[in-house]
Amino acid sequence: MGAESSPAAYSRGTEIATRPIRGMLRRVPDTDLAASFVLWLFGSFLAGGLVGLAVGRFTRFEVGLGAGLLVPGVASLVFAAAFAAEFLRFRDAPDRTTGRVVAVESRPIAPGSGVTSPVAILEYASKAGETLRVESRAASGLAVGETAVVLREPTGTRVGRPKELFGGALAALLFGTFPLSAAIFFFASAAADARERRGNARREAAPPSRLTTVATVVMLAGLFVPGFLDLDVLHAVLVGFGIVAVGLWMHVAEGVARGRDVRWCAGLGVLAANFSVWSAALWWLAPQASTW
């Protein structure tokens, strides 16, 4: 395959911090990270359903639903961290080059297995001007004639496409933050129901305050203001999500301060958490779009 030696001093902190995640992912067949994510996602939803049924049978429906949603939420966030770590590695590596796919071959997904998966063969130029070949991971989706980044590390040569890693990080965040925050909502709802059954009456809804009006105006600004700014689509979405998140958190703070029902606060908190995570992810990843 022709791996080359390269500087070992880049992104050392990222490599160490993500070692447990990469160690966990090595337990699955050596497939492309995106393909592994799809397999783990479906498996986590199945496992979450079984966990939810078991927990709900011995507790309450809301608790079981929350426990079931925790499984795919946590699994997806682990992959979001893995996608982001890979993106940073391919972005920061000083010894990287571009390779072109010259062939796609079917290989067994495991030694002795009758199940095969396509593996792309790429050619790239070494520093000495030699033409070397490297294999992608299984199910990479690469076709003959396409290009990808070749990363030369002391542990071996790797192949990846930063644009796909960028999209993978966002997709994993979507499938992670929503189930996780929804699980928190169902746990809070179950706790509120238990409190009411113990004889504590539900609090009366507090009348809207001035902060409620301000928070609503802020949310509306998040929907319309980006359209009047000279921004590309990605940065416009970033700004819009960030403003809406601020408005939602203002509603949550107002609800907590005025003693609104915990289910109302938790429901808005779910939305606020998702808008916050997405705006933060876009803020972190958007500046890298020009470096692909």
Co-location of 209 and 287 in the same domain: yes
Asked, for residue 243, whether it belongs to a domain, the answer is yes
Asked, for residue 133, whether it belongs to a domain, the answer is yes
Whether 34 shows a pLDDT value over 70: the answer reads yes
Residue 228 CB contacts under 8 Å (≥ 6 apart), including other chains = none
Asked, for residue 266, whether it belongs to a domain, the answer is yes
Asked, for residue 236, whether it belongs to a domain, the answer is yes
State the Cα–Cα distance between residues 165 and 125, nearest whole angstrom.
23
State the Cα–Cα distance between residues 220 and 206, nearest whole angstrom.
22
Strand-pairing partners, residue 98, are 149
Strand-pairing partners, residue 97, are 150
Higher pLDDT, 254 or 201: 254
Tokens of 29: 């067949």
Tokens of 198: 């113990």
Question: What digits encode the pLDDT tens for the residues 204-247?
Answer: 556 667 888 888 888 888 888 888 888 777 778 888 888 989 98
Q: What is the CATH number of the domain that holds 123?
A: 2.40.50
State the Cα–Cα distance between residues 159 and 102, nearest whole angstrom.
14
Q: What is the pLDDT of residue 292?
A: 45
Strand-pairing partners, residue 152, are 157
Residue 167 CB contacts under 8 Å (≥ 6 apart), including other chains = none
Co-location of 286 and 210 in the same domain: yes
DSSP state of 223: H
CB neighbourhood size of 124 (10 A): 23
Co-location of 155 and 228 in the same domain: no
Asked, for residue 267, whether it belongs to a domain, the answer is yes
Owning domain of residue 286: 204-291
Q: What is the mean pLDDT of the chain?
A: 76
* Helical spans, DSSP H, in 59-103: 61-92
Asked, for residue 253, whether it belongs to a domain, the answer is yes
Q: How many domains does the chain have?
A: 2
Coil, strand or helix: which one is 2?
Answer: coil
Question: What digits encode the pLDDT tens for the residues 67-113?
Answer: 888 899 899 999 988 888 888 888 777 777 888 888 888 877 666 66
Q: Name the band, by pLDDT with cuts 50, 70 and 90, for residue 286.
A: low
Percent of the chain with pLDDT over 90: 3
pTM of the model: 0.63
Q: Name the band, by pLDDT with cuts 50, 70 and 90, for residue 3.
A: very low
User: Of 165, 183, 182, 161, which Cα lies nearest the Cα of 80?
Assistant: 165
pLDDT mean over 258-275: 81
Asked, for residue 221, whether it belongs to a domain, the answer is yes
Asked, for residue 17, whether it belongs to a domain, the answer is no
Asked if 152 and 6 touch (Cβ cutoff 8 Å), the reply is yes
Whether 285 shows a pLDDT value over 70: the answer reads no
Whether 119 shows a pLDDT value over 50: the answer reads yes
CA distances from residue 77 to 82, 83, 84 in whole angstroms, order as listed: 9, 10, 10
Whether 176 shows a pLDDT value over 50: the answer reads yes
Asked if 122 and 115 touch (Cβ cutoff 8 Å), the reply is no
